[in-house]
Amino acid sequence: MSERQRSTTMPQRTRIKICGLTREQDVDVAVDCGADAIGFVFYARSPRAVGFERAAALARRLPPFVTPVGLFVNAELFEVEAACRAVPNLVLQFHGDETPEACEAAGRPYLRAARMGPGLDLLDFAARFSGARAVLLDALVEGYGGGGKVFDWSLIPPNVPAPVVLSGGLNPANVTDGVLQVRPWAVDVSSGVESAKGIKDADAIRRFCEAVREADARIASSIA
């Protein structure tokens, strides 16, 4: 059975990652609402980009068991290593054209983003990136780093040989359906909980997390 498929006897809590944070108050709200991971964008072309030292300052606000994640797009190894020095417990997330060797070069746990569109063989992709802790599924859009667009969830094949992180256009209104349909290991949101690019909305974060928990409760009740 795929790791993304839930056991029929032990329902799994869906993990929540809030990405693209730039402000202290947004980090604090995400933590208070139950986020498991906080994402920092290290892609200079993104309106949500932060520097390594800024990310380090924000990451110091995180309590134990909330994981900082750094998003990279075709970065040089020295840049990745600099981010890891600034945020020692950083998990890496690659959104560009990185090879498996490039993703593994820093020797750190990593997620590999897959851009879901025609022609992508996700099973082959996951097999090639077998060192990834999870594959993050995002929409195929122009450019890199995610575009806040929902892709067709039916494109996800069964038995993906890695934990799946569902991303791409999620928001408080659709994430319950996403969890119920895809049964991912985790969900990832950025623009869906914003009032402006890089500025999170506290109420939207709260409603998003509540919607994920609602989906988990419905799954648990269905197999009880």
- In the DSSP assignment, the letter for residue 124 is H
Q: Is 177 part of the annotated catalytic residue set? A: no
Sort residue 181 into left (φ over 0), alpha (ψ -120 to 50) or beta: alpha
Residue with tokens 């999620």: 170
Task: Respond yes or no: is residue 19 known to be catalytic.
Answer: yes
Note the Cα 163 to chain centre separation in Å: 12
> Active-site residue among 26, 138, 188, 216?
138
Q: Point out the catalytic residue in the list 19, 33, 84, 103.
A: 19
* Alpha carbon distance, N-terminus to C-terminus of the chain: 20
* Residue 68 φ then ψ, to 5°: -80, 135
Can you tell me whether residue 199 is helix, strand or coil? strand
Strands (E), 134-210: 134-139, 164-166, 186-189, 194-196, 199-200
Residue 81 phi, psi (nearest 5): -65, -35
Residue 49 DSSP class? B
- As given in the structure block, the two tokens for residue 75 are 């970065």
Cβ partners under 8 Å of residue 150, min gap 6: 139, 168, 169, 170, 174
- Active-site annotation, residues: 19, 138
